[in-house]
Chains A and B, each alone.
Chain A
Amino acid sequence: MLAYTIRRLLMLIPVLFGMTLIVFSIVHLIPGNPAQVILGETATQDAIQELEQSMGLNESFFTQYGFYLADLLQGDLGSSLRTKSEISHEILPRIAATFELTFFAMLFAIIIGINAGIISAWKQNSWLDFAAMIFALVGVSMPVFWLALMEQWVFAQELGWLPSSGRQPSTGQIEPITHFYVIDAILHWDFDRLVQVLSHLVLPAVALGTIPMAIIARMTRSSMLEVMKSDYIRTVRAKGSGQFLVIYKHALRNATIPVLTVIGLQTGVLLGGAILTETIFAWPGVGRYVYEGINYRDYPVIQSGILVIAFLFVMINLIVDLLYAFIDPRIKY
């Protein structure tokens, strides 16, 4: 297990290196001149050239990349062209916000999705199975923005049960420690605040988690059905096992590998692709940060945002790979 972990960690180095190169190149290939954008339409050619000079924009591609990498290794993501403040400083709370939302969305997706899949496979072709699979089909086909708006309309507007947007009430902001508000609330030992923060999470997490939930449910079902037919499940039953042990000890663990793959991929998608949900729920996450950056041609912000998302994606994959080895003893070899 240790050797596998080390090998897997070493494999990260080229991946991360390639990732920075690709992110850097893509942003460079975007048409438009950042110096022009900063100085505005009326700037003179001289002024633009001067700014390009001072920003290092007329250096060769690889020199620029070298500087970029050197800064990156020191944790310096550069500063936003628009706000002039340091990106590493701006982006941290946003990563926390996105992470928190993704965590709860995936928690919802995994708990509901896996159990729906198990029940479907267990009671194959029963009304429960059909109900769960129709539910999953609806979930996977529902546009996220529509679901989000409907949620806001029903649960915030009409019923008034849950807040419609933001991460916390606008009054009495909490002193952020980790920027994960749930953790912050616990650290402050502020129970009311915890309830408020969680209630703000419910609607966006459900909206964001619905599609992964549906995909996980369908994957779990098909994987479970496959495993339930296998010889070793018959062996377990021949020992006199009850259905519960058969399903939760043997079948589920064997069915987990493909489900885990899907969970990893979906988590990655949510981390980077939650722009719609973040916009509708006014959630100050990374997705929205990048979106704003694109609007202003704020190259360093776009670059850093994409880099952070890619980095998180790679990390999720690392965790998934390590979990594979934990679940399946054959993978270590």
Chain B
Amino acid sequence: MSDTILELNNLHTHFFTDSGEIPAVDGVSFHVNKGEVVGVVGESGCGKSVTSLSVMQLVPSPPGRIVSGEINFKGENLAFASEKRMRQIRGNEIAMIFQEPMTSLDPLYSIGNQLVEAIRMHNKSSKKEARLKAIEMLDLVGIPRASEVVDEFPHQLSGGMRQRVMIAMAMACDPELLIADEPTTALDVTIQAQILDLMRDLNKEKDTGILLITHDLGVVAEMCDRVVVMYAGQVVEEGTVREILKDPKHPYTKGLIRSLPNLHEKEQKLYSIPGTVPKVTMNSVGCRFAPRCEYAFDRCFSENPALYETEDNRYARCFLYDNFEEQEVATHVGTDSRS
């Protein structure tokens, strides 16, 4: 495990709203190894973004707060680290890019100003050096006319260009982990491919670990080494890309893959998982996917499933696999901690 850079262990992030406490992240555990690209997939509202924001301690607070669990980054638990310590880590050792390139840059400062700010935040360098570094970074992420763009403002750039700028900013301090929260969702398809290629290259070149949050299985297939599937705040399945895409275990993952359009089949109607993500409260009992699950049986509605081992190194949060090896996997149990 020495090459593990990020390890989430039974993380709970809850939102304290007027209508009660909502467990947006409910006992999530997974890890990212050095230089590895790990995808986190799931529908909107399944807690994948909150998980990534928790790592940075950027969950909007109030109402959100990390309640319990561990976020081990290179052996240091960041879940309850001080703001001062987090500031040293953010942008320096863990960087993040966001879904909305159109609104993620401050409209009132030039690209250069914002890049220089990021560079000088963690490195002692003169403004001149930082500016040269900024141009170099813009060049690296494939922005043409980098030495001119550095003085331009965000509104003068297209969405794809802005996302490149965001990546340049994130990579400016050579982070060991890059968290990308749906980096291509707001971009059109050709630009998506370019941005993904760019991230792939940076991953290869600098050996940066990437935690890629997405709802797009196509992106996962193209980018990731391993995949974590989340549903309603919990990890329901984890495995390598190949395993998940070729042989999904959890009914939810199966449903997700079935909902992908397939060019080779003549079926007219696209499959979709019936129903929507349930609103989870602190008192929810039973498997969260059960109301939408075609395999659901009585037990699914009365007990919370744990992660059960299905094959070597594969786990799924489903009672269908409870008998597979007659034992729960202790380190991955996440549901019972709050009772």
Contact = CB atoms under 8 A, between A and B. Distances in A.
Contact of A239 (B108, B118, B155): B118
Contacts of A40: none
Interface string B149-187: 000010100000000001001000000000000000000
Contact of A235 (B92, B98, B108, B121): B98
B306 interface: no
Contacts of A254: 106-108
B121 A241 contact: yes
Interface in A222-241: 229-232, 234-241
A240 B121 contact: yes
Interface stretch (A142-150, A186-194, A302-310, A322-330): A322-330
B56 interface: yes
B207 interface: no
B332 to A, nearest CB: 29
A128 to B, nearest CB: 16
Contacts, number: 69
Contacts of A328: 107-108
A327 B87 contact: no
Nearest to A227: B106
A253 interface: yes
A235 B95 CA distance: 10
A242 interface: yes
Contacts of A179: none
Contacts of A240: 86-92, 121-122
B100 interface: yes
B229 interface: no
Contacts of B121: 239-241
Nearest to A242: B87
Nearest to B113: A249
Contacts of A229: 60
| A-B residue pairs, 8 tightest by C-beta | A240-B91, A239-B91, A240-B90, A231-B103, A232-B106, A238-B96, A239-B118, A231-B104
Interface of A: 229-232, 234-242, 245, 250, 253-254, 327-330
Interface of B: 56, 58, 60, 86-92, 95-96, 98, 100, 103-110, 117-118, 121-122, 153, 155, 166, 169
19 contacts: A229-B60, A232-B104, A232-B106, A235-B105, A235-B106, A236-B117, A238-B58, A238-B96, A239-B121, A250-B108, A253-B108, A254-B106, A254-B107, A328-B107, A328-B108, A329-B153, A329-B155, A330-B153, A330-B155
